[in-house]
Structure 1
Amino acid sequence: MKRQDFRKLFKCVGPAVLPVIHVTDNEQAVRNVRVLVEEGAPGCFLINHDFGVERFLPIIAHVRAMFPALWMGVNFLAVTGKDAFPVLGQLKRDGVAVDGYWADDARIDERRAADDQVEARDIAAALATSGWSGLYTGGTCFKKQREVAPEHYEYSARLATGFMDAVCTSGVATGKAVDRAKITTFRRAIGDQALTLASGITPDNAHLYMADVDGFMVATGINRDGDFYNIEPAKLARLLKLTREHGAKS
C-alpha cells in the first residue's frame, strides 16, 4: 500500500495515530474506545495482552457492536497471520467486522532469498483463503521476536513490502523508542510504501519520526502514568494535535 493510500484510508494528512488498547474486559475496552473517539483518533487496535484468543473474541464482538462505524484492528498476541486470518475470516462470516490485523511477527526471514520466504508465503496463502480483506501490517525486525542484525534491516524491510499492506517495526521493547537510524533505513528500503511504528512513541518524541512513519500504534506513550490499560485523554489529544500540525505543513 502506498503511503498516500494509507493516510487516505484514515483521512489523515499526518501520521495516523492508532491507539492500542490492552483489553481486560468489555467495560474497560469500551471506556477507552470512547476516549479515543471523543479525541478524534481515526481508529484503534485491540490486543489480548493478558489472555488467549478465545476469551478475546467476545470482547472484539462487543466493541464492534458498540461502535459499528469505528475503524478497528486487532492483534492476537504471539499469533502469526497463518492462524489469525482464518479466525478473522470466521468473524467476518459471523458479522463481526475487523478492519485491520497487526502481527508482531510477519515471519520475514532475512537469511533466505526473496523467492524462498516459506513462512511469509504460508501466511499470504492463509490470508487469500480466509475470506478476510482488511489491512495487514506485519512486524519486521520487531521487538521480542528473533533478533535481526542492523545490517539486515534494509533487506528485511524490502522483503516485507511483498507480503503486507504496511510494514511495521518497533524499538527493542514495549515503551522503548526506536533508533532513528532504523526508521531511516526502513524508509529508504521501502520507498513510498506505508510504514507503521509500534513502540515508544510519545508526544515528546513523535516529531522525530513523522516524516518517515505513516501510522503510530501507541499505548504506553498515551496512557495514564503507571497504567498499562487506560488512555490519558490529554496525552492522546496532544499527540493528535502534533500529527495534524505536521501534516498541515507537509
Structure 2
Amino acid sequence: MQRDDFHKLFKSTGPVVLPVIHVLDTPRTVRNVREVIGAGAAGCFLINHDFEPESFLPIIRDVRAAYPSLWMGVNFLSVTGKVAFPMLSKLEREGITIDAYWADDARIDEHGENLEATEIAKIQKDSGWDGLYFGGTCFKKQREIEPALYNDAARHACHFMDVVTTSGVATGHEADLGKIDTFRDAIGDRALALASGITPENAANYGDVDCFMVATGINEPGNFYDIDPARLDALMQVTRTLGQGEKS
C-alpha cells in the first residue's frame, strides 16, 4: 500500500495513531476503546496476550457489536497468517468485520526464498478476507536478523503485505533510528508502521513512520492493560504537529 493512500484512508497527514489494547475481558476492553475514541485516534488493535485465540474471539465479537463503525484490527498472538486468515474469514461470514490483521511474524526471508510468506499469501487470498495486512518484519521476539540485512528483508516484505511493520528490540523499547531509515530507504513510498517504543516524548523523532501502533507508551504507569487518557492525548497532539509540519 502506498503511504499516500494509507494517510488518505485515515484522513491524516501525520503518523496515524492506532493504540494497541491488551485484552483481558469485554468490559475492560470496551472501556479502553472509549478512551481511544475520546482521544480522536483513528482506530485500534486488539491483542490476546493472556490466552489462546479461541478465547479471544468472543471478545472481538462483543467489541464489534458495541462499536459497529470502529476501525478495528486484531493480532492473534503467536500464530501466523496461516491460522489467522481463516479465522478472519469465519468472522467475516458471521458479519463481524475486522479492518486489519497484524502478524508479529510475517515469515519474511531476507534472502528472498519466502516460501512460507508465499504460502500465507495464498491462504489470505483463498480466505476471501480483504482487510489490511500489517506484517511484522525484523520484529521483536522473532528470529534475529542481522542489521546488515534489514534492507533486504524490508524490500521483500513489500510483496506480501499492505503495511510493512517493524519494532524495537522488545516491548516498550524504542526502535533504532538507523533501522527506521534503512526500512524507509528500502520500501520507498510504501506504508511503514512502528509497533514498539513510541511515547509522547519520542514520537517526534519518528516523523518518517506512517503509523504508530502503541500500547505501553500510552498506558497507565506499570499497567499493561489500561490506557492513560492524558498520555494518549499528548501523543495525538505530537502527531497532529507532525502532520502540520508536512503541510508547510
TM-score computed with the length of structure 2 as normaliser: 0.98
Match of 2:143, SS? coil
1:213 matched to 2:205? The reply is no
Aligned equivalents of 1:10 and 1:174: distance in 2? 25
Partner Cα distance (1:30, 1:19) in 2: 13
Task: State the one-letter code of the partner of 1:41.
Answer: A
1:148 to 139, 145, 148: 145
Shift of 1:4: 0.8
Identify the residue that residue 202 of structure 1 maps to in structure 2.
199
Q: Which amino acid aligns with 2:233?
A: A
Does 2:172 correspond to 1:175? yes
Q: Secondary structure of the equivalent of 2:89?
A: helix
Q: C-alpha offsets along residues 185-235 of structure 1, whole Å, 9 cap, x if unaligned?
A: 00000000000000000000001111x100000000000000000000000
In structure 1, the residue corresponding to 2:42 is in which secondary structure?
A: coil
Deviation at 1:82, TM superposition (A): 1.2
The residue aligned with 2:97 is 97
Deviation at 1:8, TM superposition (A): 1.2
Q: CA deviation at 1:49?
A: 0.5
Match of 1:121 among 115, 118, 121: 118
Distance in 1, matches of 2:64 and 2:8, equals 22
Provide the residue aligned with 2:181 in structure 1. Answer: 184
Rounded Cα–Cα distance in structure 2 between residues aligned with 1:9 and 1:71: 11
Identity %: 63
Distance in 1 of aligned mates of 2:225 and 2:10: 24
Structure 2 counterpart of 1:235, which letter? R
Amino acid at match of 1:66: A
Q: Which runs of 5+ in 1 are unaligned?
A: none
Match of 1:227 among 223, 228, 243: 223
Matches of 2:226 and 2:7 in 1, distance apart?
26
Distance 2:181 2:75 in 1: 25
Aligned to 2:83: 83
Q: Which residue of 2 aligns with 1:18?
A: 18
Unpaired runs of at least 5, structure 2: none
> Which residues in structure 2 correspond to 1:34-53 (within 5 Å)?
34-53=34-53
Residue 61 of structure 1 aligns with an amino acid whose one-letter code is R
Give per-residue Cα distances to partners, 1:29-51, cap 9 Å, x unaligned. 00000011011000000000000
Matched residues, number: 246
Query: Matches of 2:131 and 2:151 in 1, distance apart?
Result: 26
- TM-fit CA distance, 1:169: 0.3
Give deviations 1:149-191, integer Å, cap 9, x for gaps.
0000000000000000010000000000000000000000000
Q: Does 1:131 pair with 2:128?
A: yes
- Alignment RMSD (CA, Å): 0.6
- Give 1:117 deviation, angstroms: 1.1
User: What is the TM-score normalised by the length of structure 1?
Assistant: 0.97
